[in-house]
A and B are shown apart, each in its own frame.
Chain A
């Protein structure tokens, strides 16, 4: 409380508007373009949606049951900050068997609340204000805002349909400056479905080495590649210590709502991330950790069946889009197709909005994913064959109408 005397002697306090209390960094961040589109879609009925960024499978029953069992047994306490040791062991075994990267479960792994927390922790641990963070785009929507919140400067690197949305050494090189510190990678890519092969990676790794960069490699879609196996950036020669590998259970094991992910990397970086993690969230939810352990122990076959099913549906949409006159590069990973809608003369926003209003099909306009996204549409094929066929039929009529009017 201020006493009367001092109040008289000081300049009257200018009252703040509520918004003035906010951290300007936060205030200035734009809400995700996906959110706006979500609101639009929610007002409509009988929409077929290709806008969903999660599997259409329910978490396999044995995994759900493991979580129920953990509750029945009263496993309702905190786990160690970094996650249950047996889960960290299982993660290390899995990464070794599936992607040939070896981590020490004690010092090099942290279990997080989804891959999202891992990305946040990694960026907050590594960014010194002013650092430039290189982000190939179009990409998942969170990298740039979190970079900003951590005081970093995000530098988008455009990727192109003609290169299957791969990151090329040429464009990476152009974006690197003396202030560059981190390269964020997300392959297989949301939203493009693009992947990087061993040969694609080598020149990138060389540049990372030469420019002394750290890589945050978001490999949440690692299991979802078609025809060629995912190559983890951490598995490349000399890259393990330079890479924070981020992944999780959401996409491969149909466990989005469980919010369970992990990060692996150099012990010094993981220790720093663990510090923030222990002060902000303590540990990932215990029951979700039991579920994840079950998924890794007994869920690999079920996972393979889901992947086969995505692959079949992928072929339906790619062929479907091409047949209705939308150019579509062959997505080799994740569960998204990213067709071009440029031939219609509309912008992504216009196309998506009119597609919704006139054909009752929802898909996400490509521009929300950053540079290079304009002119495209993100279409998730994680939905039933019947829905896909109907969506393509409706889109076909819509595109035909656009081109012939």
Chain B
């Protein structure tokens, strides 16, 4: 899409904070007609700027012991296609939660989520390392998530303010 307007940015900022915020409320907050908000959201969805409305889950609370690892991967880029095709080959695996092309000492950062240590280890040795262009991998297991996508996982601090003040 050709450029995002200031208005669309404001809509996005509110939805990023609370994906369930109603268009009517957004319209009030930004002082525009509700139709304008609906149109903006529709356009942003259509253009894949809004990719998905998902829920951020603190899985550790569910005693569902998922294992997450960050893997630094060095690869040989392909002539003419750079890193993109190899990246695709990696991100199509459902175990891959995120994939970034990095500057610096390695090329791709892969985030893997699995049910157990073994499952993640098996992914790295059987799937990732066997890709021809992959030169090396370094796997780091995540021990605790403090903050994800801008959201702090610790219990929310309550409002410390006095209930009534001048």
Question: Interface residues, chain A, CB within 8 Å of chain B?
Answer: 32, 34, 37-38, 41-42, 47, 49, 51-54, 56, 140-142, 190, 312-313, 315-316, 319, 362, 364, 383, 385, 389
Interface hub of A32, A53, A190 (most chain B Cβ within 10 A): A53
Could you jot down 9 A-B contacts, CB within 8 Å? A34-B165, A38-B164, A47-B163, A54-B161, A140-B166, A312-B30, A313-B29, A315-B28, A315-B30
Give the dominant DSSP class at A's interface. mixed
Given A52-B161, A54-B161, A56-B159, residue A316 in contact with residue B166 (CB < 8 A): no
Please, how many residues of chain B have a CB less than 8 angstroms from a CB on the other chain? Answer: 15
Kindly supply a per-residue 1/0 record for chain B positions 153-166, scoring 1 wherever the CB is within 8 Å of any chain A CB and 0 otherwise. Answer: 00000010111111
Report how far A142 CA is from B18 CA in the complex, Å.
Answer: 39
Assess the A316–B25 pair: CB atoms within 8 A.
yes
**Closest residue to A116 on the B side, CB-wise?**
B166
Report how far A364 CA is from B163 CA in the complex, Å.
Answer: 10
Report how far A56 CA is from B29 CA in the complex, Å.
Answer: 17
Within B11-54, which residues are at the interface with A (CB < 8 Å)? Answer: 14, 18, 21, 25, 28-31
Assess the A141–B25 pair: CB atoms within 8 A.
no
Q: In the assembled complex, how far is the CB of residue A392 from the closest CB belonging to chain B, in whole angstroms?
A: 11
**A42 — which chain B residues lie within 8 A by C-beta?**
163
Assess the B29–A315 pair: CB atoms within 8 A.
yes
Interface hub of B18, B163, B166 (most chain A Cβ within 10 A): B166
**A316 — which chain B residues lie within 8 A by C-beta?**
25, 28-29
Assess the A319–B165 pair: CB atoms within 8 A.
no
Partner among A32, A51, A190, A319 whose Cβ is within 8 Å of the Cβ of B163: A51
Report how far A315 CA is from B31 CA in the complex, Å.
Answer: 7
Partner among A49, A141, A313, A389 whose Cβ is within 8 Å of the Cβ of B166: A141
Report how far A20 CA is from B25 CA in the complex, Å.
Answer: 57
Assess the B164–A56 pair: CB atoms within 8 A.
no
Kindly supply a per-residue 1/0 record for chain B positions 124-166, scoring 1 wherever the CB is within 8 Å of any chain A CB and 0 otherwise. Answer: 0000000000000000000000000000000000010111111
Assess the B25–A49 pair: CB atoms within 8 A.
no
Interface hub of A49, A312, A319, A362 (most chain B Cβ within 10 A): A312
Report how far A131 CA is from B164 CA in the complex, Å.
Answer: 33
Given A312-B30, A315-B31, residue A385 in contact with residue B163 (CB < 8 A): no
Given A312-B29, A316-B28, A389-B25, residue A41 in contact with residue B165 (CB < 8 A): no
Report how far A183 CA is from B30 CA in the complex, Å.
Answer: 37
Q: In the assembled complex, how far is the CB of residue A23 from the closest CB belonging to chain B, in whole angstroms?
A: 23
**B161 — which chain A residues lie within 8 A by C-beta?**
52, 54, 56
Q: In the assembled complex, how far is the CB of residue B76 from the closest CB belonging to chain A, in whole angstroms?
A: 42
Q: In the assembled complex, how far is the CB of residue A185 from the closest CB belonging to chain B, in whole angstroms?
A: 17
Q: In the assembled complex, how far is the CB of residue A261 from the closest CB belonging to chain B, in whole angstroms?
A: 15
Assess the B166–A53 pair: CB atoms within 8 A.
yes
**B164 — which chain A residues lie within 8 A by C-beta?**
34, 37-38, 41, 49, 51-52, 362, 364
Q: In the assembled complex, how far is the CB of residue B149 from the closest CB belonging to chain A, in whole angstroms?
A: 18
**B31 — which chain A residues lie within 8 A by C-beta?**
315
Given contacts A34-B166, A53-B166, 10 further A-B contacts (CB under 8 A): A37-B164, A38-B162, A38-B164, A42-B163, A52-B162, A54-B161, A142-B166, A190-B166, A319-B28, A385-B18
**Closest residue to A32 on the B side, CB-wise?**
B166
Q: In the assembled complex, how far is the CB of residue B27 from the closest CB belonging to chain A, in whole angstroms?
A: 9
Q: In the assembled complex, how far is the CB of residue B38 from the closest CB belonging to chain A, in whole angstroms?
A: 18
**A385 — which chain B residues lie within 8 A by C-beta?**
18, 21, 25, 29
Query: What are the 3 A-B residue pairs with the smallest beta carbon separation, nearest first?
Result: A51-B164, A312-B29, A38-B164
**A141 — which chain B residues lie within 8 A by C-beta?**
166
Report how far A220 CA is from B163 CA in the complex, Å.
Answer: 21
Assess the B25–A52 pair: CB atoms within 8 A.
no
**Closest residue to A257 on the B side, CB-wise?**
B160
**Closest residue to B30 on the A side, CB-wise?**
A312
Report how far A321 CA is from B30 CA in the complex, Å.
Answer: 17
Assess the A362–B165 pair: CB atoms within 8 A.
no
Q: In the assembled complex, how far is the CB of residue B147 from the closest CB belonging to chain A, in whole angstroms?
A: 13
**B162 — which chain A residues lie within 8 A by C-beta?**
38, 52
Q: In the assembled complex, how far is the CB of residue A14 from the closest CB belonging to chain B, in whole angstroms?
A: 39
Report how far A47 CA is from B163 CA in the complex, Å.
Answer: 9
Assess the A54–B165 pair: CB atoms within 8 A.
yes
Q: In the assembled complex, how far is the CB of residue A103 from the closest CB belonging to chain B, in whole angstroms?
A: 28
Report how far A47 CA is from B164 CA in the complex, Å.
Answer: 11
Q: In the assembled complex, how far is the CB of residue A145 from the closest CB belonging to chain B, in whole angstroms?
A: 11
**Closest residue to A369 on the B side, CB-wise?**
B166
**Closest residue to B165 on the A side, CB-wise?**
A53
Report how far A51 CA is from B18 CA in the complex, Å.
Answer: 25
